[in-house]
Amino acid sequence: MPCHTITTQQVALDADFGSTTQDVIRHLAGLITAAGRTENPNVLAEAANAREAQASTGVNGRIAIPHCRTAAVTEPTLAFVRLSHPVDFAGPDGDAECVFLIAAPEDDTKAHLQLLSKLARALVREEFLEKLRYANSPEDVVTAVNEVLNAGVKKNEVRGDVDKPKKRIVAVTSCATGIAHTYMAADALEQAARGRNDVKLLVEPQGSSGGKPIAPEFIASADAVIFAHDVVIREPERFAGKPVVDSPVKRAINEPTAMLEEAIAAARNLNPRRVPASSSDTATSTPATGRLKRIHQAILTGVSYMVPFVAAGGLLLALGYLIGGYDVANGWQVIPITYSPTNLPGHEVLIGGNLTPFSHSGWALYLGAILFSIGQIGMQFVVAALSGYIAYGLAGRPGIAPGFIGGAISVMLGAGFIGGLVTGVLAGAIAFWVGSWTVPRWLASLMPVAIIPLLASLAVGLTMFLLLGHPLGEIMAALQGWLTSMTGSSAILLGVIIGLMMCFDFGGPVNKAAYIFGTAGLSAGTDAAFEIMAAVMISGMVPPIALSCATLIRAQLFTPAEQQTGKSAWLLGLSFVSEGAIPFAAADPFRVIPSMMLGGAAVGATSMALGVGARAPHGGIFVIFTYEPWWGMFIALAVGVAVSTIAVLTAKQLWRRKPVTSFSTMEKQR
């Protein structure tokens, strides 16, 4: 059945679509609008530009393929332009002369995405590119594209099938969206291998349209592995022990022959880099990066796994306080054990030989104590989880046990979350190093389940008890003492710093660093820690709410897409999802980011000055019962939102940009 993914209305030849990638994408979205394929060109352009900001889409042949998934289209849609003035899409061989915009529905089926993957693969074929470069009419482009999209797989076409290969190579390709780069990389590698008599290659594209996994028998016989990816490789443990070449997916598109040569060299190397036994080692889950980058990623992994412990434990503690009163903390270890539903406690409970008074009694005190006990037990795992999953991020499953053990030792020695960070990195590094040893085959199966955890746990434990534990404990005690002693201007200054960090990059590394500082301190259970957490959470709520208010007050200062985003951004802000401000900051960073930072600083100062504390690590306004005093949270939030809203409106009013032309106006002008 013919494919109607592209029509002549969606093709422009030798057109001037502006000088930037954003200009080109907006015009291509206009073509799709004119063809009746979308009613939301701004949403479509915004999605494609957001994807372009993550990673450029320029490829070999002076081609660019901006692409996205978006609710703006209901079926796979293409638009094409041959530019009269090439535009820089960061391609490897110069500015792009031909540009495809590929748009897929958010809930697209695999069958539809397979059509798009066929186009992506065709873009590495010179004969197809020649048809695009020398097309005389839009009809010629549509014919060439439809020939590709409607072509069946040739029966005699088998990937990497060459006679008597000397080296067997397997490759896995994957990109962020799974639409284009995944399949372009796969075909580029296959074409580089086709015709060679020294290699047999099988490629497994892990894209949105699916792909048949490489047979285990071929993997077992493979001499080397190529990972070309921007996202996590699924089931990398299938390739454990194989020599590996690891790189971002675009390198396979631009330098497929070089990657094949590297894989062949790795197969011949007596001591190559190998795929580890763990399915989650950083080397196989992200492109090859420097050591500091890997450690940073592992720490973020640890934090992401730690947060559920903090969230569950913190909220349960807060519920315990809410139901049983704040003095429930004095009896949480005794009340759940001593009393029962048929023997409820009164206002006085015997604790440590002394009668201790409580503000609540009966079911309220009993249930509050149980909830508080569950939360307290959950909070006791926070440092161990942080340490364990940092090690997991560095060394995969073999790193979990030594990481958790190291974290528990940190708690025992009073080193707290600082010790957890250190033991996590140390356990992961040691586990990764031990896992890289070349051992006899009979021992290899014992390495991930016994040998690596044993040696790494022993090394981490000895290091903490004999060397690092007590110094780290002293540092932690000094830090807690400093936080506890903060009053007046010093507390306000810390609040300002926290607010500035939370509103700098909206979920980025700086924001995450402040959030880690806040959540990690919750395990200490001090008033100072709760005040820091409040400053973190309230300031993180400000940017989306302020920008939503700004779009409501002066809509004409914002693009139509930003106005639409503003209608829902306030809810993200109230939920403590700072990322709701990213679309605004990406489009106008020099006016939006400083304005939001001003509001964040105002929140931090106000929150600290009022002594607002929060016992929960997330939830925004929806965990209002965890704030003390609750009215202080509203005052601090209102101050921050007001400052940021006024600042961003003032900046946009005094420093105006050229107004954005709507697509309907563009079409009339054309």
The last residue of a domain, from among 464, 480, 496: 480
The whole-angstrom separation of Cα 51 and Cα 64 is 13
In a shared domain, residues 525 and 601: yes
> Residue 36 region, left (φ>0) first, then alpha (ψ -120 to 50), else beta?
left
The whole-angstrom separation of Cα 555 and Cα 166 is 65
Tokens of 634: 């509203």
Whether residue 280 is contained in a domain is answered as no
Q: Is 117 exposed, middle or buried (0-12, 13-18, 19+ CB in 10 A)?
A: buried
Element (H, E) at 628: strand 627-628
pLDDT score of 507: 67
Whether residue 72 is contained in a domain is answered as yes
The pair phi, psi for residue 159, each rounded to 5°, is -60, 130
CB neighbour list of residue 27: distance below 8 Å, 6 or more residues apart: 12, 15, 17, 18, 81, 666
The residue-averaged pLDDT of 140-160 equals: 65
Domains of the chain: total: 4
Write the pLDDT tens digit of every residue in 330-359: 888 899 999 999 999 999 988 888 888 998
With beta carbons less than 8 A apart as the criterion, state whether 17 and 11 touch. no
CB neighbour list of residue 392: distance below 8 Å, 6 or more residues apart: 280, 298, 301, 302, 305, 399, 400, 403, 428
The residue-averaged pLDDT of 646-670 equals: 60
In a shared domain, residues 21 and 105: yes
Nearest one of 621, 598, 385 to 503, comparing CA atoms = 598
The pair phi, psi for residue 628, each rounded to 5°, is -145, 110
Tokens of 337: 């054990």
Under DSSP, is residue 194 helix (H, G, I), strand (E, B) or coil?
Answer: coil
Whether residue 475 is contained in a domain is answered as yes
Asked if residue 546 has pLDDT above 60, the reply is yes
The whole-angstrom separation of Cα 205 and Cα 191 is 14
pLDDT score of 270: 67
Nearest one of 23, 187, 208 to 104, comparing CA atoms = 208
**Helices (H), strands (E): how many in the chain?**
27, 14
Whether residue 641 is contained in a domain is answered as yes
In a shared domain, residues 332 and 436: yes
Whether residue 607 is contained in a domain is answered as yes
User: What is the residue-averaged pLDDT of the chain?
Assistant: 81
Express as a percent the part of the chain with pLDDT over 90. 23
The residue-averaged pLDDT of 616-644 equals: 89
pLDDT score of 595: 93
pLDDT score of 650: 93
pLDDT score of 175: 67
pLDDT score of 279: 44
The last residue of a domain, from among 446, 480, 514: 480
- Out of 59-68, 153-162, 295-304, 581-590, least confident range: 153-162
Asked if residue 658 has pLDDT above 50, the reply is no
The residue-averaged pLDDT of 138-159 equals: 68
Query: Which CATH number fits the domain that encloses residue 191?
Result: 3.40.50.2300
**Interior/surface letters 248-259, b for 16+ CB within 10 angstroms, e for the rest:** bbbbbbbbbeeb
In a shared domain, residues 313 and 456: yes
Residue in the structure block whose two tokens are 């201790």: 356
Whether residue 162 is contained in a domain is answered as no
The whole-angstrom separation of Cα 54 and Cα 378 is 37
In a shared domain, residues 240 and 354: no
CB-side neighbour CA atoms (13 Å) of 101: 35
The whole-angstrom separation of Cα 416 and Cα 469 is 10
Asked if residue 661 has pLDDT above 70, the reply is no
With beta carbons less than 8 A apart as the criterion, state whether 460 and 424 touch. no
Whether residue 670 is contained in a domain is answered as no
The whole-angstrom separation of Cα 465 and Cα 410 is 9
pTM of the model: 0.51
The last residue of a domain, from among 150, 179, 204: 150
CB neighbours of residue 362 within 10 Å: 12
Residue in the structure block whose two tokens are 């090859």: 288
The whole-angstrom separation of Cα 324 and Cα 375 is 13
Whether residue 463 is contained in a domain is answered as yes
Q: Which of the four pLDDT bands, split at 50, 70 and 90, describes residue 115?
A: low
Write the pLDDT tens digit of every residue in 227-261: 987 655 777 878 888 888 888 877 888 788 888 88
In a shared domain, residues 639 and 535: yes
Write the pLDDT tens digit of every residue in 417-471: 788 889 999 999 999 899 888 888 778 778 888 899 999 999 999 999 999 988 9
The whole-angstrom separation of Cα 276 and Cα 38 is 46
- Displacement of CA 480 from its chain's centroid (Å): 31
Highest mean pLDDT pick, 57-61, 374-378, 432-436, 629-633: 629-633
Q: How, if at all, do strands 613-614 and 627-628 pair? A: antiparallel
**Interior/surface letters 629-643, b for 16+ CB within 10 angstroms, e for the rest:** eeebbebbbebbbeb
- Would you give the DSSP letter of residue 241? T
In a shared domain, residues 443 and 513: no
Q: Which amino acid is at 53?
A: A
CB neighbour list of residue 476: distance below 8 Å, 6 or more residues apart: 414, 415, 416, 417, 418, 419
Write the pLDDT tens digit of every residue in 44-84: 898 888 888 777 788 777 888 888 888 888 888 889 999 98
In a shared domain, residues 36 and 145: yes
The residue-averaged pLDDT of 117-131 equals: 77
Write the pLDDT tens digit of every residue in 412-421: 998 877 888 8
Q: E-strand spans in 311-368? A: 348-351, 354-357
Q: 261 is in which domain, residue-wise? A: 167-275
pLDDT score of 446: 84
In a shared domain, residues 472 and 491: no
Q: Which of the four pLDDT bands, split at 50, 70 and 90, describes residue 670?
A: very low
Write the pLDDT tens digit of every residue in 578-623: 877 877 887 778 889 999 999 999 999 999 999 999 887 777 888 8
pLDDT score of 402: 95
> Residue 56 region, left (φ>0) first, then alpha (ψ -120 to 50), else beta?
beta
CB neighbour list of residue 360: distance below 8 Å, 6 or more residues apart: 323, 324, 325, 328, 347, 368
With beta carbons less than 8 A apart as the criterion, state whether 403 and 459 touch. no
The whole-angstrom separation of Cα 179 and Cα 86 is 24
In a shared domain, residues 508 and 461: no
Query: Which CATH number fits the domain that encloses residue 13?
Result: 3.40.930.10
Q: Which of the four pLDDT bands, split at 50, 70 and 90, describes residue 216?
A: confident
Catalytic residue numbers read: 67, 175
The whole-angstrom separation of Cα 68 and Cα 50 is 9
Asked if residue 409 has pLDDT above 70, the reply is yes
In a shared domain, residues 577 and 610: yes
Between residues 300 and 62, the one the model is more confident about: 62
- Residues facing residue 81 across a β-bridge: 12, 99
Q: Is the dihedral of CA 108, 111, 116, 120 positive or negative?
A: positive
The residue-averaged pLDDT of 514-526 equals: 73
CB-side neighbour CA atoms (13 Å) of 64: 31
Under DSSP, is residue 229 helix (H, G, I), strand (E, B) or coil?
Answer: strand
Express as a percent the part of the chain with pLDDT over 70. 85
The whole-angstrom separation of Cα 294 and Cα 274 is 17
With beta carbons less than 8 A apart as the criterion, state whether 117 and 207 touch. yes
In a shared domain, residues 510 and 388: no
